Amino acid sequence: MIHAAVEQCGEGDVLVVTTTSPSTDGLFGELFATALKRRGVRGVVINAGIRDTRELREMGFAAWSVTSPPRWSSRSVLAVLSVRTVRGNARWAR
């Protein structure tokens, strides 16, 4: 459901993505980064894998992940969008 979250992002945002269980799947790559960059998004933090790391670096898109080797991914997962997030003492809300 990352594609649904991309549509809600705007100028200056950082997209934060997590999964319901541990994942090293390559859920994020050049296509999502291109769409986010066009919307003015500054980067992504993802608790899963990323792919196309060379392309992301070349386009200057900031991405932080738990791993970069891709595996498979799925679009058939229900997601919750626009919720408050707390990590340590930091809070994010859209």
Burial bucket for residue 28 (CB in 10 Å: 0-12, 13-18, 19+)? buried
pLDDT of residue 8: 92
On the question of pLDDT at 26 being above 70, the answer is yes
For the whole model, what pTM was predicted?
0.72
Mean pLDDT for all residues in the chain: 79
**57-82 pLDDT per residue, tens:** 999 999 998 876 554 444 444 455 55
Q: Which residue has the higher pLDDT, 32 or 86?
A: 32
On the question of pLDDT at 22 being above 80, the answer is yes
Say which CATH number the domain at 23 has: 3.50.30.40
Number of structural domains found in the chain: 1
| Structural domain of 77 | 2-92
Q: Report which secondary-structure segment, H or E, holds 35.
A: helix 30-38
